[in-house]
Amino acid sequence: MIDLIVFLVAAAICLVGAVGVVVARNPVHSALMLVMTLFGIAVHFVAQEAHFLAAVQVIVYAGAIVVMFLFVIMLLGVDVHTKLDLGGLKGQRVAAAAFGVVGLGVLVFLMTRVEDGITSQPAGTPIDPNTPDINQLAHSLFDQYVFAFELTSVLLIIAVIGAVILSRKPRPELEESQGGES
């Protein structure tokens, strides 16, 4: 019964935080809602007795990553309200709706195909009881899934560089000096 209560409270925290990330008008508030979501996920990890993952969730994501987000927000001055009048691409909403419907269809299809007993072990038990969990996690990340792990890091770096370039405001004194030389 306690497990159910912990799950429901942590799930509510995650959902409220996730919705807050999307609907918050102030980017700083959005980042704080992200912290709330990440703490809720850490509670889920603790409930599943994955204490290392819970610690990583709090230290790396809620600590370092969100602090980096806040640093970029403050550095670029994104927290100041600016009116952005960006025209959407033609067919963007239709493509997004089609992608959402197809994604939801794939999700429903996969959920209906799941059978009980996919793995031979119950959830929460280590694969090899003689090997510590952290060694098994390291083996998975750096041996079996090293390509996906490195590709994710490259994509994150590209995303940060792209965000900085897209949110950069041109300085008027540079435009005048460049315009006068040509």
pLDDT by residue (tens digit) across 129-149? 787 877 877 887 788 778 888
Of the chain, the percentage scoring pLDDT greater than 70 comes to 76
Q: What is the CATH number of domain 2-80+132-181?
A: 1.20.120.1200
pLDDT by residue (tens digit) across 26-75? 888 888 898 999 999 999 999 988 888 888 888 888 888 888 887 777 77
> Where in the chain are the domains?
2-80+132-181
pTM of the model: 0.54
Spatial contact of 57 and 38, defined as CB atoms under 8 Å apart: yes
